[in-house]
Amino acid sequence: MSTAAPASTFDTRTRILNLAEELLLARGFNAFSYQHIAKELQVKPAAIHYHYPSKEDLGTAVIRRQLGRLRKWRGLPRVTELTPAQQLEALLDVYRQRACAAHGPQVCFFGALAADFLTLPAAMQQELRTFSEELTQWLAGVLAAGRADGTLQFSGHPFSKAAQVLTTLAGALQVARVHGEGQFQYILKQLRTELLPAA
């Protein structure tokens, strides 16, 4: 039927995006190529260009999807209904999962792209800024609420502390790749000890 949904099209587009995301996290933006993706999907590299005309388009799509996931995640009932301390733990869990990934520790989005930042197309730079700002803003709110109700402790402004925590987490995943998962656990434990009173 002419109105049938082009299921295979959707699948290919998504599979490309999934692979691009995986490669981006593993190798950075400049060290993965259309060929890597094409080989895995058993098509020619040029086929990828149909779905994502330029590498900039592909990279931007990856960040944009991640931004959508963040917005959805922070609005989920199972997240919004948690106490601030539990929301913080939920965030730490996301990073823990990355650190314990099957094929060795994965870095987070920000960490993978921040290092290559100066070489990124302008559109990707802008998307990354938005992603980072929204995440920091959300955590700052969580930290402020947690300090207000006495379940979290820290000095300074919530926004500064949020920036510091996220920076540490992003860095910790990079460290994990160099020195192993154990190093990540040390850093995470340090973070929790300081933020959660008498844990």
Interface with its own copies (CB under 8 A), residue from 15, 65, 174, 196 = 174
End-to-end CA distance of the chain: 61
Q: Considering only residues 36-55, where is the footprint of its own copies by CB under 8 A?
A: none
If contact means CB under 5 to 8 A according to the sort of partner, which of DNA, its own copies, none does residue 47 touch?
A: DNA
Dihedral sign computed on CA atoms, order 117, 123, 128, 134: positive
Q: Which does 168 bind (CB under 5 to 8 A by kind): its own copies, DNA, none?
A: its own copies
Q: Of the two residues 43 and 115, which places its CB atom closer to its own copies in the complex?
A: 115
Task: Identify residues 35-94 at the interface with DNA (CB under 7 A).
Answer: 35-36, 43-47, 49-51, 53-56
Name the burial class of residue 156, with classes exposed (0-12), middle (13-18) and buried (19+) by CB atoms within 10 angstroms of its CB: exposed
* Residue 103 phi, psi (nearest 5): -95, 45
What is the Cα–Cα distance from 199 to 33, expressed in whole angstroms? 46
Q: Which residue has the tokens 């995301």?
A: 21
d(CA 39, CA 69): 28
Number of residues that bind DNA (CB under 7 A): 21
Q: Which of its own copies, DNA, none lies near 62, with the C-beta cut-off 5 to 8 A by kind? A: none
Check: CB of residue 84 under 8 Å from CB of residue 143: yes
Tell me which DSSP letter residue 104 carries: S
Query: Is 125 near its own copies (CB under 8 A)?
Result: yes
Q: Which stretches of the chain bind its own copies, using CB under 8 A?
A: 26-28, 30-31, 107, 110-112, 114-119, 125, 128-129, 132-133, 155-157, 159-161, 163-164, 167-168, 170-172, 174-175, 177-179, 183, 186-187, 189-191, 193-194
Q: Which residues bind DNA (CB under 7 A)?
A: 6, 8-9, 12, 32-36, 43-47, 49-51, 53-56
